[in-house]
Amino acid sequence: MSDPVIQDFELPATGDTVFKLSDHRGKNVVVYFYPKDNTSGCTLEGQEFRDRYKDFAQADTIVVGVSRDSIKSHEGFKAEHGFPFDLLSDKDETACELFGVMKLKNMYGKQVRGIERSTFVFDKKGKLVKSWRGLKAPGHAAEVLAFVQTLG
């Protein structure tokens, strides 16, 4: 599947703010979708982005995480792990549908609909320039960082 053309989107974010993609033109933007707050893979992924956050900032890049969890859940998850970036709540699956990340997955022998771990990078003009789908969390943030460092 080729990546959709992402016009713009807006979601509630931690810190009682609203994130709108177009508000961040002039910076690279990493949008990573993850299944659920406080699960092992999602925690690891968030920690890896956190641990490289200064390097992303030096590459003129902001990072945001997106899941269907509530802002209240996100606030606790962010505080517990010291994430320096915002988490966005997509309870209505607006952005999930826009990015095509909702998939049927097998969990404990049952088919469930959930977010496929995916990351998207937008350049300073707001153009989608790279995506990863169905990825594994360990080492992924380093791979994303290496890519954004090539954008200049």
Helix, strand, coil content of the chain in percent (nearest 5) = 30, 30, 35
Distance from C-alpha of 118 to C-alpha of 132, rounded to nearest angstrom: 5
Residue 152 CB-half CA count within 13 A: 0
Residue 18 CB-half CA count within 13 A: 6
Residue 95 CB-half CA count within 13 A: 27
**Which residue do the tokens 């909702």 mark?**
102
Distance from C-alpha of 137 to C-alpha of 40, rounded to nearest angstrom: 10
Which residue among the candidates 11, 29, 42, 59 is catalytic per the annotation? 42
Can 96 be counted among the known catalytic residues? no
Residues with catalytic annotation? 42
